Structure 1
Amino acid sequence: MTRTPRFDGMDLSLLGVIASLLSVGVLTIYSVTSTAPGGSFPIFAKQAIWIGVGTLVFLVMASFDYHKLARLSYILYGLGLLLLVVVMFSGKVSRGSQRWISLGPIAIQPSEFIKLPLLLMLATYYSTQTRTGWLYRVIVPGLLALPGFLLILKQPDLGSSLSFLAIYITLLLAVGVKSKAFGLVLLTALMMFPFAWGELWGSLHDYQKERIISFVDPGYDPGGKGYQGLQSRIAIGSGELLGKGLRGGTQTQFKFLPEGHTDFVFAVFAEEWGFLGAVVLIMLFLSLFLLGLDIASKAKDMLGALLAIGVVGMITFNVVVNIAMTLGLAPIVGIPLPLLSYGGSATIMTMAVLGLLLSVKRRRLTLIQ
């Protein structure tokens, strides 16, 4: 039985937080790239275009019934896997990784776009009927997610593969898992870890191995592979309490910190706006998480609740890992800061899942039975 949807008004609080984070991102990218050679089109302007495209995707997702998307989840996930296979055989290679499909002047990253189908598929799987026992609650959905995880890891893209895994773990924890089943899975994982780690370590490129080593030993190769993490920590520390102001950071403006507009945009922001600015930024992300959890708690069906929780979990994981790696608290794994880092695929994907989150709220009075 399908009841006529009753649409709530747009969530102004959610829209305000998203707009604030996007604005901070463009401003920070402008600050760190305005003097860099970017051809005839500045990098911050390109990001503004991606935000425009992402906004359109956001509005489409917010107006779309997530129940209809859920019915297509397995097909969408299959198409995502197909794109990952295409990447493996004919993808664009850059910096030792094969992650992109070239479409004329632009390149898309399927490892970003498959996260939405994965979320839809797992939420649909858990919500269609009661899943009891460790086999149906843990193993089966894990096997569904495994091909995508392995294909992304093969590229290699350690950051996206971990983010992919985080979606599965978030939904698994959301539906609950009995202590015996969890203990069995944990014990099996610990037993398999030496073998799995050997395979994982062997699949990594030398630069990825050296990043992990530099995390374990911060003094490792400070002029080489440990340079980026070291300069990130220096930039954050040099911001002190109030920061050095827009385009005033010495570490970032003099290009001591590489990739300041992508994975290390938080370090750029922290140097320019200081500790207090970083606290305000983190509070904005915290507000986004709390708004998402509020939507999940008020969803009127299991599917909507799981989708909202999955969106919150995915974004939270990326935010925590990105900030932690810029602070030297986690290895550098190439995870961008949502809504702030430069990147078309990541920006559009983040806006898409946030649109899905708003869709859950707008249809919270709709029951699909």
Structure 2
Amino acid sequence: MSENNTIFKGDRYLWGVYFLLCLISIVEVYSSSSFLTRRGGDFLGPAMRQISFVLAGTALVVIMHNLHYKWCKLLMAFLVPLSLVLMLWVDIFGSNVNDASRWLNIFGVSIQPSELAKLATIITLAFILAKFRSKETGSVTSGAFKWSLIVAGVFCFLIVVDNFSTAALLGLVSFCMMMVAGVETKKLLTLVAVAVVALAILIPVSVEIYEYEKREKEPFPFLGASRLSTVGGRTVRFVENFGKPAYEEPIGKDNYQPQHAYMAVANGGVFGVFLGNSRERDFLPQAFSDFIYAIIIEEMGLVGGIVIMLLYMSMLLRAGVIARRCDKAYPAFLITGLAMMIAFQALINMGVSVGLFPVTGQTLPLVSRGGTSFLITSAYFGIMLSVSRFAKQSGKNENVEEPLVEENGDISAPNPAQM
């Protein structure tokens, strides 16, 4: 069927990854929600809730991939101030989840402002890195690094108060976007050095706060100390038990979920216990969210876990192919940043489930139970599909439905990959 005769336009590979992840999500959220089913007594409730988010997310993808990606500039003008206001608001009025004020309840709807902030940052950085470069040579100018650092720094600072892992993830993606855009190696190495020094200070301080609260049995008297204590506690447990067999570590309040996640991975073996037969889902309160990858491995085995990983990696590689073909810098940086955010977050979530990283609270994109993260990730796919559909691409220009309209030269710089 011709692309012009279907509502699902743009790159078919990206569409395929999106729908496969959504399908896996419905099945695994339903399977892993026995904890909620037992508590609430609604057998089909978790599945119907997830299906509603999948339908809403798909509608969002369809809408956004029909909009030319150049309109992301207007979205940026709306998202940046909104995200800043909500991030400040969440620190004052936010709802606590696992001792972190990450959520806002507005008219009964829970919103996670950090998800909006991630999208706003990526769109803004793509614009900055495309704007501050020579039209003739495609090389970045001096303003690219400065303004990128300011934007990423402000958002990371606001996020880190309540969500260290999200701030670190956003900082990593921002750094990679600057590297892809061709920012000078000297400046990037300086940024790495600053980050290393900051971590060298932050981690010991976090550990000390954790030890203080453990010793004194009272909160450390400092704003944001509770999150630092959480980071410190997770760091201590990760370092103390890294490389040790999971069965040698006694199960307690602080390691209850990761220990049962490791048991789920061990139970899965190569081919798993089959869908719906997980045992550890009954012991994991976050089986449908932070540790859903462990349940996937338990039910689908190592083979299923590898397939999930390959879906994310193929999405990243496909986005890289599309970015390399783009004639202009803006769509190339936009799709690259969005794809890296999805793939990196997925790798972190999977690493936590198998014990490679300390617990972070990062969900598995499009697979964990729906919410703000699911809808924002759907928006990522909508924008990536818009780039694949509308951006002028060398070697594939016959599929471009509308040429890029160059406005004020702000996104008309050539893609450095084409130079």
Normalising by the residue count of structure 1, what TM-score does the alignment of the two structures yield? Answer: 0.90
Q: Which residue of 1 aligns with 2:233?
A: 210
SS at match of 1:295: helix
CA distance in 2, matches of 1:38, 1:169: 43
Distance apart, 1:71 and its partner CA: 4.3
Residues 9 and 389 in structure 2, CA contact (< 8 A), matched pair in contact too: yes
Which of 118, 123, 129 is matched with 1:120 structurally?
123
Gaps of at least 5 residues in structure 2 are 1-6, 210-224, 242-247, 393-402, 407-419
Range 356-365 or range 190-199, more displaced: 190-199
Alignment-derived partner of residue 311 in structure 1 = 338
Aligned to 1:247: 276
Q: Could you say which residue in structure 1 is the equivalent of 2:149?
A: 142
User: Which residue of structure 2 aligns with residue 4 of structure 1?
Assistant: none
Offset of residue 9 of structure 1: 4.0
| Equivalent-residue separation in structure 1 for 2:87 and 2:198 (angstroms) | 26
Deviations 1:158-202 (A, max 9, x none): 232223223311211111233322333333444454444466666
Q: Give me the TM-score of the superposition, normalised by structure 2.
A: 0.79
C-alpha distance 258-105 of structure 1, shift in aligned 2 (>3 A): same
Partners of 1:257 and 1:50 lie apart in 2 by: 22
**What residue number does 1:38 align with?**
40
Q: Which has the larger radius of gyration?
A: 2
The alignment status of 1:286 with 2:309, answered yes or no, reads no
Residue in 2 that maps onto 1:49: 52
Q: Which moved more, 1:13-22 or 1:343-352?
A: 13-22
Contact 1:295 1:357 in 2 (8 A): no
Mapped partners of 1:100, 1:133: distance in 2: 37
For residue 174 of structure 1, what is the aligned residue in structure 2? 180
Q: 1:125 to 1:107 in 2, by over 3 A?
A: same
Relative distance call for 1:251 and 1:188 in structure 2 (3 A) is closer
Aligned-pair identity in percent equals: 26
Aligned to 2:170: 164
Please point out which of 80, 87, 92 is paired with 1:89: 92
Change in 2 beyond 3 A, CA 1:174/1:167: same
Q: Which amino acid aligns with 2:264?
A: A
CA distance 1:52–1:8, shift in 2 (3 Å):
closer
How has the CA–CA distance of structure 1 residues 163 and 222 changed in structure 2, closer, same or farther, with 3 Å as cutoff?
same
Is the 8 Å Cα contact of residues 170 and 309 (structure 1) preserved in structure 2? no
Please tell me whether residue 273 in structure 1 is matched to residue 300 in structure 2.
Answer: yes
AA at the equivalent of 1:112: E
C-alpha deviation, 1:115, in angstroms: 1.4
Q: Say which SS state the counterpart of residue 102 (structure 1) adopts.
A: strand
Are residues 278 and 81 of structure 1, via their aligned partners in 2, closer, same or farther at CA, if it must alter by over 3 Å? same
Q: Corresponding residue for 2:28? A: 28
Higher RCO (Cα < 8 Å, 6 or more apart): 1
Letter in 2 for 1:213: V
CA distance in 2, matches of 1:42, 1:91: 26
Unaligned runs of 5+ in 1: 1-6
Match of 1:327 among 332, 345, 354: 354
| Alpha-carbon offset, residue 101 of structure 1 | 1.4
Contact 1:233–1:267 at 8 Å: present in 2 too?
Answer: yes
**Distance in 2, Cα, partners of 1:314 & 1:327:** 20
Match of 1:367 in 2: 404
Structure 2 equivalent of residue 3 of structure 1: none
Q: CA deviation at 1:333?
A: 0.6
